[in-house]
Amino acid sequence: MAKRTIRSLGFLFQVAVLSSALPITLTKGADRATVSWVWSGAVTTDSAVVKARVQPGIKTARLLVDTAASFKNSVRFPPSGYSEPDPDGVATFRLSNLNPDTVYHYSVEVEGERRLTGKLHTFAEGPMSFRIAFASCATTGSNHEIFSTIQDLNPLFFLHMGDFHYENISKNDPALFQDAFEKVLHSQRQSSLYRSAPIVYIWDDHDYGPNDSDRTAAGKPAASKVYRQYVPHYPLSRARNKLGTIQQAFTVGRVRFVLTDGRSERDPTDDPDGPNKSMLGEEQRNWLFEELASTRDYSLVVWVNVVPWITKSQPGSDIGWEPFGYERRLIADRIKRNGLVNRMLILSGDGHMVAIDDGSNSDYSSDGKAGEQAFPVVHGAPLDRFPRVKGGPYSHGVAARRGVSRLFGIVKEQQFGFMELTDNGQVITVELSGRNAEGELLKGMLLRMRCDSEGCTVVN
Ligand SMILES: [Fe+2]
């Protein structure tokens, strides 16, 4: 009873804080009524995808794209004519023939009026220096100031590693997944962030299905369908398998990003571990192996692997990769065989914590010796959820609120990861940090890497 009262007070406090918060970007009511949201993604050196939702009944829309915010010399997409929104009002614009390393403003035009506006930055051809924010886990529709903090850091893109919402949908009903997206994209601060920088988004359990969900989730077809409808994503592999896993890969400068879907083909956690148990599913795992084999030309490979890779501190638990030890070893061996151990980095969410390991604890290869150094692993979470530590140990430790606030579950925590990469064409330096809601460095949560033709080393 006491716990419930404290929870209620906590909730009322949050409502009061949220309702007093001013939106970072004011949008005219008429604009928002006609075009309720817009966001971009799938950016390359010369292309991008923009998705927007227009008021039901509007039959045509187009996108104006310009290097200047005035839109005086804008180019239109589609180049000839208009795009027809789908029956739910979602319009998809495929931008092409863009110039590399260029900032573009875009605006959705309906009924002859420019409505919501956003921007994106195309990737450079050749070496590129850039900054990205990465994080996971936000209460559905959160309007916390952390999203404005991330926006103010002007990342090249925002990497969302799942738990985009906490609707825990357990029915195969697309409308429920659409509602969840609508709730998030109607958050003033989140939608402002998503208009200011492209999204790169891969789901985790709570936004794909219920807590700890796997391939047996009843809502899998609907989740897969609505992801494709709402999210501007990179081309999904294995297109013949229409509603298969949503893994993606893309290149920024000399860095390869590889994102895996750890949910929609995941075998149940309780299945016995061994060659027949998989978190990725055989098809996606083969795709990952192909990716790992073709990344020799990149200076650094960033594997966005959402759940905790390191679980040595919790043997036999159901945390992260621990119940999938056989497959983890297969992947670790493949990374080693491809010579990627010193050119790789894992970014993760899931655990509601910031945690950094410099590679001291991440080796899971068959012939790994005790204390063998592997690749860094960095967790960046939660955006706006209750703290929870998972996996480990982590060489640099963990940043997550502990004690009474955690015990009663009334105080949420807001944290994210930030990656600043500088490439002078010879040497790449990478700075990975954990930040608080104000964008300040979390104590001790900083790792530096230096990559050259010999590979990457952690720099103290
Ligand atoms: Fe989460």
Q: What are the distances in angstroms from CA 87 to CA 55, 106, 242, 339?
A: 10, 23, 20, 48
CA of 339 from ligand 1 middle (Å) equals 32
CA dihedral 398, 247, 98, 192 (to 10 degrees): -50
Q: What is the tens place of the pLDDT at every residue in 311-342? A: 999 999 999 999 999 999 999 999 999 999 99
Distance between CA atoms of residues 423 and 308, nearest Å: 28
Give residue 93's pLDDT. Answer: 98
- Quote the ligand 1 centre to 388 CA distance (angstroms): 9
**The pLDDT value given to residue 21:** 35
pLDDT of residue 13: 37
Ligand 1 centroid to 60 CA: how many Å? 37
| Per-residue model confidence (pLDDT) at position 297 | 82
Please give the distance, rounded to the nearest whole angstrom, from the Cα atom of residue 421 to the centre of ligand 1: 26
pLDDT of residue 144: 98
Alpha helices in 214-324 (DSSP H): 220-230, 282-293
Which SS3 state, helix, strand or coil, does residue 220 take? helix
Distance CA 301, CA 433 (A): 18
The domains located in the chain, with CATH, are 29-121 (2.60.40.380), 130-459 (3.60.21.70)
Please name the residues in contact with 4: beta carbons below 8 A apart, sequence gap of 6 or more.
Answer: none
* Torsion sign over Cα 282, 283, 284, 290: positive
Q: How far is the CA of 140 from the centre of ligand 1 (A)?
A: 11
> How large a percentage of the chain has pLDDT more than 90?
85
Give the other-Cβ count within 10 Å of 8's Cβ.
11
pLDDT in tens, 227-249: 999 999 999 976 556 678 999 99
